[in-house]
Amino acid sequence: MFKAFKEKFDKLVSSIKLKTLSRDELEKYRDEFVLFLVENDVAFEVAEKIFDGFLESIEEHKINRFKDVEGELKELFKNYIHRILKSLEPDSLEDRIRRLESRPYKIMFIGVNGVGKTTSLAKVGYRLKKSGLLPLLVCSDTFRAGAIEQLKTHAERLSLPFFSTTYGHDPAAVAYDAISYAESRKYDVVLIDTAGRQYSNVNLMNELSKVARINNPNEIVLVLDSLTGYDAYTQAKEFHDHVGFDYLIFTKVDADVKGGAILTVTYEFRKPIQYLGVGQRYEDLKPFNSDEMIKLMFGG
Ligand SMILES: Nc1nc2c(ncn2[C@@H]2O[C@H](COP(=O)(O)OP(=O)(O)OP(=O)(O)O)[C@@H](O)[C@H]2O)c(=O)[nH]1
Ligand SMILES: [Mg+2]
């Protein structure tokens, strides 16, 4: 992953000829910089913002004739992106859960169809169980055929408790009942799966905000498919405006992703990435680490 990003970045930097490392000089290469980002799936308007932010971060200085200008420019841009990603590194979910005295800790998973909500929820359940916490898997997707059976199968495989009702039920009510059920059994966490929806469907977006309003989750996790590029940005914008979210999970990072979706959404919304989905097995969920991500993007 991020192979194209790294290659294109190296190419971009070697095409830049600077006399001084200054904002004015770099401004001349705005189009090239923005194009490099856009080619890597960064949304155009965010690519412009990233470039502006980068320029602002630069302290002007003359370049010594014998200095490695390319190397210095590379370092500056890499460090700029690194600082942003680092500032968005969250604490561990397990710590947040343990810090909360009341039980259960409520997490709601949202996102468009097929991004990997249910799979990610099951992976989170697996992680929590391994750390000694007991999560209840809740299917508030009473809409898509097979959704209840799908999550139930995960619960059985993971030997975790499961809660659902029947298709057609109000998802907000299902989540509400599940929370009471978890309270009475002293479960640590409630993981609420919701039906995938297109952000253009206003009724379904309203339904989702109702689930959140009534059940007041401790956190809402937006799941995005890192392969979707620009659309991930649109999705984040719509879910942000209609429902809101606290953390991000990017799935399918095991495929050859360009990285732009991740960069765009985190830059624009400044929400922490909790995990990256890196495959189809339960173990394939990695806590986000900015150092690793920067290494993949820029090498070194
Ligand atoms: N390679 C890979 N596949 C993934 C990852 N996460 C999810 N998938 C796959 O993506 C497909 C869709 O996953 P689901 O979890 O059912 O997606 P969903 O968002 O719940 O879908 P709906 O409930 O229909 O909206 C499945 O085939 C998953 O195995 C990942 O990190 N890597
Ligand atoms: Mg699902």
Beta-bridged to residue 139, according to DSSP, are: 193
For the CA of 223, the nearest ligand: 1
Cα–Cα nearest to 266, from 50, 54, 109, 75: 50
Report CA(262)–ligand 2 centroid distance (Å). Answer: 21
The model's pTM: 0.95
Contact 2, 258 (CB under 8 A): yes
| Terminal alpha carbon distance of the chain | 15
For residues 35-48, average pLDDT? 94
Cα–Cα nearest to 30, from 47, 10, 8: 47
Write down the mean pLDDT value for the chain. 93
Per-position b or e across 38-50, b if 16+ CB within 10 A of its CB: bebbbbeebbbbb
The CATH code belonging to domain 93-298 is 3.40.50.300
Q: Is 208 left (phi over 0), alpha (psi -120 to 50) or beta?
A: alpha
Share of the chain above pLDDT 70, in %: 98
pLDDT band at 62 (very low <50, low <70, confident <90, very high): low
Ligand 1 atom nearest the C-alpha of 112 is: 25
The CATH number for 3-87, chosen from 3.30.70.270, 3.30.465.10, 3.30.499.10, 1.20.120.140, is: 1.20.120.140
Among 249, 251, 253, name the best residue to mutate to test ligand 1's pocket (greatest count of ligand atoms within 8 A of Cβ): 251
Cα–Cα nearest to 221, from 199, 243, 252, 197: 243
Domain spans of the chain, in order of start = 3-87, 93-298
In this predicted structure, the answer to whether residue 63 has a pLDDT above a threshold of 70 is no
Ligand 1 atom nearest the C-alpha of 223 is: 19
In this structure, the strands spanning 135-139 and 189-193 are parallel
The per-residue pLDDT for range 81-134, each reduced to its tens digit, is 999 999 999 999 999 999 999 999 999 999 999 999 999 999 999 999 999 999
